[in-house]
Structure 1
């Protein structure tokens, strides 16, 4: 008699066919790429309105991680249950919700604006991107359930799904950042991505034998979104007149959304990058209109005989022309090639020295000459690039100054004592590198102002030329005495400026809307 317990016979399994692998792994690679592309494009959707800052990135990353977690959970729950909602539905609704983002983004951001910079950006990101990321997150659990239904090696199959999804994310990130974004607008890319997902949903519906009516609905979405994408690619790359404005030039680059906008009623031409005005001129005279430039263009009076200057942040290039009138040849560094192009084509910028395109930290290290004057004028997206204001960066600029040379730093902030800490922090950081400092404001009596710091290793004094008396008389009410005590030293390791400048960023956005109009912040 056989007393041994009965043994279960091994379950018959089969390996996934090559076609099955193409379907499953292709699905997760495409949806993985879509996740990262939506995340990255999110900064271009809400960046022009809220500024591209740590606040916006934190909002997008938090929303993305939360939405994916919800998608993973409910995708797993639905995958194990015999419901009508399956993988093709998840991909289909991801396509639909992505296609809606360009249509509702403006209304959503205006609706969330009363919540302020932090919660406005977070709420906008949550409303716009949560739905599509939840559906994209569902794809992985569905694919794992389908792929492991008929195979025994569940662990290796699940690992392969996650690995290939991650590789797809990497591919999507590189494809978007290296190739697509500089060539096409955000809305066009979103619509093409939606079209690709709709086509994928249609193919999955056929593969899984989903009801015919779903396939027809998916095909209808493919046709609609495809038509919208073609229209965007052909017509959406350039804007037209918007509420009294005429967009003359528009280009989306790695660094921002650059536009040249005419305001005929005021005869003003604006150069904008994301949510910042980085250049403005009178269309009749061609003279620069940004208030701080009236102070900075007088810099040669503090350094008689100056021959060479360096401008960090080109803008519309007006300062180059201003310095040329004093016989000063100016090299310029500009991170965004579209800004340099716009300055030449639309603001009659005529270089008097080299124009170097690239990040200032990198380019300055490569410079092998010294200057009499350096102007640090970097402001974009409603915020300063704070890595350019650290003690280390200021020290690097000092090495490019000739003995007795002057560094001028433009910084936006408030003049009220209770809001002066960011300005004091810049003053303290400059004082760590230079023995002498003078500070001016662009508009006396205005609480929100451009601060122009002039620092040197020699006393910062006006020329003794008789004509300098008029300059001294004009500058006198603009001199602003700042005690750096109470400020925080800004370093590469510790840089709290973005937090300290929160109130400034919110106020600047309000000023921009009042000056240029809310519609200018949207595509």
Structure 2
């Protein structure tokens, strides 16, 4: 083989190692989300990744010396061991806490792979580029700059590819991606030590319940049945890891997205108790139905049979199911097709609705300036972090343009109401809708992280009032009798203060202002979720 061919092969192998490692970065974050949530693992990920990559680059000669130039053969072996190391560490998530847990998991499961891959890639690229004749400065810094560009391009492509293709096949699930990348590492660098990976491969195929294979689903259910749970379905999708869990002891069913519950309903009910729409496990979804009780500005109360509703964010479908059963023509906008599928399959979402499976911003932009809805329900909480773009002035103004002059809107917000982010979002809502009232889900005022619903109407001529409910409003449900009428009102004055350097309203070009507060909200939400569902259920996905 000619010297130029040898150099080219080294160069391409080095580039390949960088691209695979770049692809592994977002894939690894996906595997952390079901145990720690989507947001907390990202807090320190980029910093840790940069440090690990720098260690690999600047210790490349030392790595070669220690391993006697055999380090590259360990790369595919490590890649196959990552899921097993993760599995072991996940079982200690409650001890580690959050965000410590993601950091510990990356240090022991991912960063060794990064250090070794980058170190070996650095040596290959330097020797393959043959820049020594141009001096030491060029030979050292040009490959470093080039490697950074290659890695950055690869990681950006990986984010796009995963977001578009996640869940299509086994190898495009979050666990399947780890297998695929390990196989690609092995193809790029055929290793004489690959036999060292066999124990991890066997464990993953027989005992690692995170791998979405039929036989392992049974192993998963055996593991969580000790906690009283059964998993009915699971699938990776565009918004996260979606699964349906049944609690066999207390008699309820919930839908999970990563480390969050999108909602649920009671499945075991007393004899002779058959509500038209099943009782949700969270009273907040009943409260959202009170948007029907908001009195119109003029004229007689609305006739449900002639009314239309728009629901942004489906969850398990408790609120839209009630609206539909009241005879209201209901349009549901849900970005995740799996959420819509599971809500229909497992949570009795009526089929007679209009489904728009797309991003809400796209739907609203396409539909704006066509006021046709009597009611709008905005319920888009996602795993401890609000999707900030759906609380901007621009998006809310779009909803305002879709609401009839006598219409009403109910907006569910979950978070720490003492944070500037909550104040900013409430001020933005009040800026768009001039007449609002705010209610918390329960009476406990000691907890700052709450679900609250902001009810608003378009006109400011009269205060917002609710009509008294009648038996038909309850749909035969005891839960609706208890929780339909909002009770625990919040003084809006607590949201008026603007922190130093803050803004009065949230604009779509300034949503980055919420990021640091989203981190705190997500961690607080993680702790709450650990009290709702046992650790073992979260850890075993």
Provide the rounded CA distance (Å) in 2 between the counterparts of 1:425 and 1:319.
Answer: 26
Instruction: Please say if residues 313 and 378 of structure 2, whose CA atoms lie closer than 8 Å, have aligned partners that are also in contact.
Output: yes
Q: 2:412 matched to 1:410?
A: yes
Question: Which sits farther off after the overlay, 57-66 or 99-108?
Answer: 99-108
Q: 2:375 aligns with which of 373, 376, 383?
A: 373
Q: Which residue of 2 aligns with 1:6?
A: none
Question: Which sits farther off after the overlay, 261-270 or 460-469?
Answer: 460-469
Q: CA RMSD in A?
A: 3.4
Measured at CA, do residues 257 and 20 of structure 1 come closer, stay the same or move farther in structure 2, by a change above 3 Å?
Answer: same
| Cα shift at 1:221 | 3.1
Q: 1:485 aligns with which of 496, 513, 529?
A: 496
Q: Which residue of 2 aligns with 1:212?
A: none
TM alignment of 1:67-466, pairs within 5 A: 67-78=52-63, 84-89=68-73, 91-92=75-76, 94-95=78-79, 97-107=81-91, 109-113=93-97, 117-147=98-128, 158=143, 162=147, 172-173=158-159, 175-179=161-165, 181-184=167-170, 185-202=173-190, 215=192, 218-221=193-196, 223-224=198-199, 226-227=201-202, 232=211, 234-235=213-214, 238=217, 239-241=220-222, 242=224, 243-284=227-268, 286-303=278-295, 304-305=301-302, 307-367=307-367, 369=370, 370-414=372-416, 419=418, 421-446=420-445, 447=447, 448-458=449-459, 459-463=463-467
| Cα shift at 1:92 | 4.4
| Cα shift at 1:432 | 1.0
Unaligned runs of 5+ in 2: 270-277, 296-300, 475-480
C-alpha deviations, 1:306-329, integer Å up to 9, x for none? 511111100111111211233211
Q: Which residue of 2 aligns with 1:500?
A: 517
Q: Give the number of equivalent residue pairs.
A: 488
Q: 1:37 aligns with which of 14, 23, 27?
A: 23
Higher RCO (Cα < 8 Å, 6 or more apart): 2
Provide the rounded CA distance (Å) in 2 between the counterparts of 1:269 and 1:35.
Answer: 39
Q: Which residue of 2 aligns with 1:206?
A: none
C-alpha deviations, 1:135-176, integer Å up to 9, x for none? 111122220344257996896994997476666556655554
Provide the rounded CA distance (Å) in 1 between the counterparts of 2:486 and 2:190.
Answer: 71
Measured at CA, do residues 481 and 475 of structure 1 come closer, stay the same or move farther in structure 2, by a change above 3 Å?
Answer: farther
C-alpha deviations, 1:417-445, integer Å up to 9, x for none? xx365443332111111210111122123
Unaligned runs of 5+ in 1: 1-13, 204-214
Q: Secondary structure at the match of 1:382?
A: coil
Question: Which sits farther off after the overlay, 262-271 or 379-388?
Answer: 379-388
Provide the rounded CA distance (Å) in 2 between the counterparts of 1:454 and 1:412.
Answer: 14
Instruction: Please say if residues 166 and 237 of structure 2, whose CA atoms lie closer than 8 Å, have aligned partners that are also in contact.
Output: no
Q: Secondary structure at the match of 2:452?
A: strand
* Higher Cα Rg, which structure: 1
| Cα shift at 1:15 | 4.5
Provide the rounded CA distance (Å) in 1 between the counterparts of 2:356 and 2:486.
Answer: 35
Measured at CA, do residues 224 and 167 of structure 1 come closer, stay the same or move farther in structure 2, by a change above 3 Å?
Answer: farther
Provide the rounded CA distance (Å) in 2 between the counterparts of 1:180 and 1:58.
Answer: 23
Measured at CA, do residues 27 and 396 of structure 1 come closer, stay the same or move farther in structure 2, by a change above 3 Å?
Answer: same
Provide the rounded CA distance (Å) in 2 between the counterparts of 1:168 and 1:87.
Answer: 23
Instruction: Please say if residues 312 and 334 of structure 1, whose CA atoms lie closer than 8 Å, have aligned partners that are also in contact.
Output: yes
Measured at CA, do residues 493 and 122 of structure 1 come closer, stay the same or move farther in structure 2, by a change above 3 Å?
Answer: farther
Provide the rounded CA distance (Å) in 2 between the counterparts of 1:237 and 1:36.
Answer: 29
Provide the rounded CA distance (Å) in 1 between the counterparts of 2:161 and 2:486.
Answer: 54
Q: What TM-score comes out, normalization by structure 1 length?
A: 0.82
Q: 2:33 aligns with which of 41, 47, 51?
A: 47
Provide the rounded CA distance (Å) in 2 between the counterparts of 1:48 and 1:516.
Answer: 13
C-alpha deviations, 1:345-367, integer Å up to 9, x for none? 11111143311112211221122
Provide the rounded CA distance (Å) in 2 between the counterparts of 1:335 and 1:248.
Answer: 22
| Cα shift at 1:408 | 0.9
Instruction: Please say if residues 469 and 485 of structure 2, whose CA atoms lie closer than 8 Å, have aligned partners that are also in contact.
Output: no
Provide the rounded CA distance (Å) in 1 between the counterparts of 2:55 and 2:168.
Answer: 32
